Structure 1
């Protein structure tokens, strides 16, 4: 047995939950790696909604999808991932079976442009609140770059604020490594009765607006 790295583990979790015909979210499409993986998982009758604030990422993802003949299964959204719940129709939101984030910067581009703690936490909360119980919200946390530590702190603080009766949180990480490898936090809403989660959505939406 070989212990998988963070992204491989995230893909394994997606594979356990996603089937052809499902709707899924790629919250940070980057260069299209996760988007292509998701498109293959839901094809031929499912759909991927992929988000990124950088036009360069949208273009790179489209090029990869086109090359692999997967573009018909994906809608690319040039906007922040926290808008996903409002962009999708009610029917699409109800059918979402998984969402995945790869935090940090776009590989091979300006490392100063990174995902922000405020938008990431607001997006995770929005997904948990909107999507059905049992849908994994998978966050691959990269914290070895400038800004990464503050985002890690924010997402872990959010995880600590959630009530275990409403949301389960799984952490997968390779420990005692020389560098700071990414790790995975997976959030799963347990049921529909989540008053504390609703309160957090409101609180973090104000933080996101200011940030």
Structure 2
């Protein structure tokens, strides 16, 4: 087993149980903006995409909705998600705090590498009192291309001041696994809403069922 010196954490679906929050908000408000058919099943198809990619997908799949309506829908969704996140009631994924505490005790530096917006990342980590575990964050505002492009992972590796071979990335999505693989970083996938397919299994070092299993890579 490699001697990893740093860890890159995805956020949505890996550190926090947020994917259901986005889905529930979008399903609830979509009819208010003339968007019919935005169901939970439909939204499973955009899990792991950046905000920009989601917007482009919605515009393609709901051409009957005007740009003004779609923009208003996105704005309302962001505001409602911010309210939920501000409540402090978004749970950490099981084992997340214990893993972060364990890595801190081992003096293994950690960063967040997420396609999400910095305001959401900061809000969630501050409310959960885990910001201090991270050396920094690479997010949507820091890159030109979201996952599966490796840019986020490349910059996270640079932030850790390590080589790709010295880093381990933790992900829940196929796009995250693709990004890590392209960056030459070993990735362990802990699936959230979407179960691993063959490509994910090929690109991942391992598929784990729980964050507590990650301790073994540092013992």
Q: TM-score range by the shorter chain?
A: 0.3 to 0.5
The structure richer in strand per residue is: 1
* TM-score using structure 2 length: 0.40
The structure richer in helix per residue is: 2
Larger radius of gyration: 2
Which protein has greater RCO, CA pairs closer than 8 Å, 6+ apart? 2
* TM-score using structure 1 length: 0.41
